[in-house]
Amino acid sequence: MKSVIVLLGPPGSGKGTQGEMLSEKLGYTRLSTGDMLREAVRNGTELGLKAKGYMDSGALVPNDLIIGLMKEKIAQSKGGVILDGFPRTVEQADALAQQVEVDLALDLDVPDEELVNRLTKRRSCPGCNAVYHLVYNPPKAEGVCDKCGGQLYQRDDDKDETVKNRLNVYRENTMPLIGYYEKKGVLTVIEGTGSIDDIFAQVQKAVQ
Ligand code: AP5
């Protein structure tokens, strides 16, 4: 079993969905930078106020806001961790490498057309961060989270225009990490299209 797992993959590739399932299966802590930043925005903290503009436009939040925060969260976590959305730049990956060794980097490979379809029809829960899809993975009752009863909403950055920008930002800043982890010999590419359960079966194989 691996103790530090990085989830790579473009926006909408299923990092949150698979990360949550894997965290339950392995008993690892899932650390999602996106969830942490959205919570900071909701709570109006200093970090949230600084991050909001970047997130709404689909840009990355500056490295200096993220690296310290994640280093602290990783240090506080007991047992294995699943990093969802971090690292996202080579500078973040280098900073992570100074702290811990990454055992496995999983790249969820999904074509752009499917990503746009997934993101624009995603609905998220502000209470427990569960994600749904209006067609592929709908909640049992419309607009209500199955897990905690929270009122589902559409993320501001899941609107059409912002999604396109996020995909460009991913290509420019985050895609180089595929080669980065391949060189380190820890990369596994997962075919990210198909049913959520079929993809999870591949994910589980990769962590064995
Ligand atoms: P973040 O929240 O990390 O967004 P992201 O990487 O763009 O990823 P998403 O959450 O959009 O998608 P996902 O891959 O988790 O897919 P999901 O499982 O939800 O980051 C948001 C913002 O925060 C960034 O833009 C940036 O500004 C900032 N940020 C975060 N981290 C940062 C960092 N390290 N540095 C700098 N800035 C940072 O699935 C998507 C949808 O598809 C759902 O509806 C789901 O139900 C559905 N779905 C999942 N799997 C399947 C399937 N197999 N078939 C059909 N539908 C599926």
Cβ of 15 below 6 Å from ligand 1: yes
pLDDT at position 161, please? Answer: 87
> Looking at the predicted structure, is the pLDDT value of residue 1 above 50?
no
pLDDT at position 101, please? Answer: 96
Cα(165) to centroid(ligand 1), Å: 14
User: Ligand 1, atom 52: nearest CA belongs to which residue?
Assistant: 196
Catalytically active residues are 15, 88, 122, 155, 166
Mean of the per-residue pLDDT values of the chain: 96
Cβ of 54 below 6 Å from ligand 1: yes
Cβ of 162 below 6 Å from ligand 1: no
pLDDT at position 32, please? Answer: 97
* Contact present, 207 and 123 (Cβ < 8 Å): no
pLDDT at position 55, please? Answer: 96
Neighbours of 132 (CB within 10 A): 21
Q: What are phi and psi of 159, to 5 degrees?
A: -80, 150
Torsion angle of the four alpha carbons 171, 68, 98, 185, in this order, in degrees rounded to the nearest 10: -30
> pLDDT of 127-179, one tens digit each?
999 999 999 999 999 999 999 999 999 999 999 889 999 999 999 999 999 99
Distance, in Å, from the CA atom of 83 to the CA atom of 29, rounded to the nearest integer, reads 9
Cβ of 55 below 6 Å from ligand 1: yes
- Starting from the edge strand earliest in sequence, which strands make up the sheet with 29-32, in order? 29-32, 81-84, 4-8, 104-109, 187-191
Angle between helical axes of 160-169 and 112-120 (0-180°, round to 10): 140
Cα(97) to centroid(ligand 1), Å: 23
* Contact present, 167 and 115 (Cβ < 8 Å): yes
Which 8-state DSSP code applies to residue 153?
B
Helix (H, G, I), strand (E, B), or coil: what is residue 156?
Answer: helix
Residues 6+ apart with CB under 8 A from 53: none
Cα(98) to centroid(ligand 1), Å: 26
- The pTM of this model reads 0.96
